[in-house]
Amino acid sequence: MSFAKNLARVSGVLSLALAVRGQKYNTTGYTLQDAYDASNFFESFDFFSGPDPTSGFVQYADAVTANSTGLAGYANNGIYLGVDYQTANPSAGRASVRLSSKKAYTHGLIIADIAHQPDSVCGSWPAFWTFGPSWPHSGEIDIIEGVNKQTNSTITLHTAPGCSFSQNSFSSADCGSPGDGTQGCGASTQDTQTFGAGFNAIGGGVYALQWTSDAIKVFFFPRTGKIPADINAGNPNPSNWGRPTASFSGGSCNIDANFMNHNIVFDTTFCGQWAGKVWSEDPVCSAKASTCQEYVASNPADFQNTYWLINSVKVFSEAGATKRGIAKRFDA
């Protein structure tokens, strides 16, 4: 045991030395801080098994249940996070998982290589997002999110009122709107490869969140030949990436006062405050059942493709700003 510990310490010191030396010569400004993949994911993320804060028709499983029922595990060299697609009329909600990184981050570059995300299916509400303590005061960044048959990802920021961006590529709304942060600011992307079935049809791709004091940007790169070489090389350089899919900058928002200590989250819920709320406005879904919950309860087989398959999530910090960039985990 102490042998392993010593080894870890030695390799830690070595990589630190390399990183420090690298900073002198590399111009990208980003250094790998944490890599989560099929070798360590479930040791680095916690299962949230409480009632869904978004009032979904879902029962989030704990780690032991998720493993024993096949809801979560390592598969295809990646991380599989699925839902129960066999049980009809589960009384407490359809079983699913919601995982949060043990570590929390302020600033940095989060790069997620995702092979599959939940398909665009009536009743589902998957999300890949980050958020901090005392919601909405430490902010929330929704990187991939959508409901029901939607074909495009919605990228949204939430925080306390008084934060708006002039360079928000979607709208200029206050990210604390409508007074409690529940609506936030942001909008749908103009790209059907960013979400659900369209994303899965091309084998997924890479999402990157770049978060500095000046801007919050989200980039999406389809797997079909569009992933930048610097990402594949492990030396990401956002200044080479062109126009982001979403960019929030300028305006009145003090990013550092409104966004901090974020845990990284993947989840899939059903119905609730978004998918359920808009059910009756969706002509295709509402024709299948009068309520979202009724549909989700009685059509388990529709959720066979409602799963995440994540190759990796890598967190890079700004070189020279490592101390400032790392936040200790906040226990809820």
In the residue annotation, 140 being an active-site residue is answered as yes
Which residues, 6 or more positions from 269, have their beta carbon under 8 angstroms from its beta carbon?
Answer: 52, 54, 56, 58, 96, 98, 124, 125, 126, 127, 275
Q: How far is the CB of 123 from ligand NAG (least distance, A)?
A: 19
Percent helix, strand and coil across the chain, each rounded to 5?
25, 30, 45
Beta strands in the chain (DSSP E): 30-37, 45-47, 58-60, 72-75, 78-81, 94-96, 98-101, 104-105, 108-116, 124-131, 140-145, 154-158, 185-188, 205-211, 215-222, 246-249, 263-270, 308-318, 326-327
Q: Which C-beta is closer to ligand NAG: that of 31 or that of 156?
A: 31
Please state, in angstroms and rounded to a whole number, the distance separating the CA atoms of residues 289 and 314. Answer: 40
Q: Both tokens of residue 2? A: 């102490």
Q: For residue 272, what is the DSSP state?
A: I
In the residue annotation, 145 being an active-site residue is answered as yes
Task: Tell me which amino acid residue 254 is.
Answer: N
Q: How far is the CB of 187 from ligand NAG (least distance, A)?
A: 7
Q: How far is the CB of 68 from ligand NAG (least distance, A)?
A: 7
Q: Which C-beta is closer to ligand NAG: that of 10 or that of 16?
A: 16
Q: Which C-beta is closer to ligand NAG: that of 66 or that of 255?
A: 66
Q: How far is the CB of 19 from ligand NAG (least distance, A)?
A: 5
Q: Both tokens of residue 257? A: 């006062």
The residue nearest ligand NAG at its CB is 22
Please state, in angstroms and rounded to a whole number, the distance separating the CA atoms of residues 75 and 214. Answer: 38
Q: Which C-beta is closer to ligand NAG: that of 8 or that of 64?
A: 64
Q: Which C-beta is closer to ligand NAG: that of 142 or that of 259?
A: 142
**Total Cβ atoms within 10 A of residue 161:** 15
Please state, in angstroms and rounded to a whole number, the distance separating the CA atoms of residues 61 and 65. Answer: 6
Q: How far is the CB of 210 from ligand NAG (least distance, A)?
A: 16
Q: Which C-beta is closer to ligand NAG: that of 6 or that of 68?
A: 68
Binding region for ligand NAG (CB under 6 A): 19, 22-23, 26, 31, 42, 67, 73-74, 151-152, 188, 190-192, 235
Which of 145, 281, 294, 318 is flagged as catalytic?
A: 145
Q: How far is the CB of 99 from ligand NAG (least distance, A)?
A: 11
Please state, in angstroms and rounded to a whole number, the distance separating the CA atoms of residues 238 and 88. Answer: 46
The residues assigned a catalytic role are 140, 145
